[in-house]
Amino acid sequence: MQAILLVGGFGTRLRPLTLTTPKQMLPVLHRPMLEHAVSGLARYGVDRVVLALGYHDDAFRAAYPDGLCAGVELCGVVEPEPLDTAGAIRFAYEESGMSAAAGTFLVANGDVITDLDVGEMLRVHRSTGAEATIHLIEVDDPSRYGVVVTDPDGRVRAFLEKPQPPAPSNWINAGTYLMEPSVIDRIAPGRRVSVEREVFPAMAEAGTLWALPHNTYWVDAGTPQTYLRVQLDLLDGRRGPAVAGVSAEASVDAGAVIERSVVMAGAVVGEGSVVRGSAVHAGAVIEAGATVLDSVVGSGATVGRGARVTDGTLIGERFAVAPGADLSDARVPQSL
């Protein structure tokens, strides 16, 4: 089966990290986020992934020059301008040479990290005869998401993007879809079209959209908190055996304390410093006596001697935090 991965967004919520690196090329535990998504799909027989590219498409080409990622063939298409989620699907489908003969295809938001059983989803999709099937996940606060109301048999009755509270359901669009080629004809060509605001509501109305409500591991890694959470979940063993966060190629002083953190190759952590619940990217330097809590230090960035960087702070690539500074929930540089 072929898949289209949507990876062309600006990733504004992860600025300034995304000013230099597109969101799906940011590291999640030593590997780009993209590789986690692609290897998840490969397990279920996806053998060709079309990347719907836009913002910083060059970073993807540079990382996979031979067109292979996690053993899967990669093909990239670049929109002339951002066409939004459905516009991107139509553009990627046509530009990459996909055709109706290949049948059902998968679409996923590139920042979704999940253990969804795509095989089970495909079985449901086939048994209902759906034109498209959406994976749903249950959340406590659905107000920031696309809320989906289904009949008992799974047919979607309503698709409401970010509805006013109270939401009619706690089941939300989890960002993985199976689609029949006919969905492409529902997307107007050459303009911005949102799958969440236009295409799915119209299909719900027509009665051709189905859902698979399934609570499995799922994180939308597009915010500072969730970008950190997917990594801590791997360290904590929430998705299989716990993995080590500190690279063998990092240099950590014997007098430093590192807890539940990712420290990547070439990073330096100085004497008396504390790094907890955080990600320190490749080549970053945490100087002596500095504290980094629940934050991300971008590649090649420096946290000066004795500084405190806490509570969801993001330090952009190669930027420096002055010695003794105290930053909480901050962006360096301040986001544009």
> Where along the sequence are the contacts to ligand GTP (CB under 6 A)?
6-13, 23, 52, 54, 79, 82-85, 88, 109-111, 222
Q: Which is nearer to ligand GTP, 308 or 331 (CB)?
A: 331
Q: Which is nearer to ligand GTP, 12 or 225 (CB)?
A: 12
**Alpha-carbon gap, residue 280 to 114, rounded angstroms:** 23
Q: Is 48 exposed, middle or buried (0-12, 13-18, 19+ CB in 10 A)?
A: middle
Q: How far is the CB of 122 from ligand GTP (least distance, A)?
A: 22
Q: How far is the CB of 242 from ligand GTP (least distance, A)?
A: 28
**Alpha-carbon gap, residue 142 to 177, rounded angstroms:** 19
Q: How far is the CB of 34 from ligand GTP (least distance, A)?
A: 10
Q: Give the residue nearest to ligand GTP (CB).
A: 9
Q: How far is the CB of 275 from ligand GTP (least distance, A)?
A: 25
The answer to whether the beta carbons of residues 275 and 258 sit under 8 Å apart is yes
Which residues does residue 179 pair with via DSSP β-bridges, in sequence order? 105, 132
The answer to whether the beta carbons of residues 16 and 298 sit under 8 Å apart is yes
Q: Which is nearer to ligand GTP, 222 or 283 (CB)?
A: 222
Residue found under tokens 């991107």:
88
Q: Which is nearer to ligand GTP, 18 or 208 (CB)?
A: 18
Q: Which of these, 86, 71, 67, lies nearest to 4 by C-alpha position?
A: 86
Q: How far is the CB of 155 from ligand GTP (least distance, A)?
A: 25
Q: How far is the CB of 194 from ligand GTP (least distance, A)?
A: 9
Q: Which is nearer to ligand GTP, 231 or 302 (CB)?
A: 231
The answer to whether the beta carbons of residues 145 and 139 sit under 8 Å apart is yes
Q: How far is the CB of 85 from ligand GTP (least distance, A)?
A: 5
Q: Which is nearer to ligand GTP, 227 or 263 (CB)?
A: 227
Letter for the amino acid at 252? V
Q: How far is the CB of 304 from ligand GTP (least distance, A)?
A: 29
Q: Which is nearer to ligand GTP, 145 or 210 (CB)?
A: 145
Q: Which is nearer to ligand GTP, 14 or 204 (CB)?
A: 14
Q: How far is the CB of 23 from ligand GTP (least distance, A)?
A: 6
**Alpha-carbon gap, residue 211 to 334, rounded angstroms:** 40
Q: How many CB atoms lie within 10 A of CB 221?
A: 25
Q: Which is nearer to ligand GTP, 12 or 127 (CB)?
A: 12
Beta strand 105-109 pairing with 156-161: unpaired
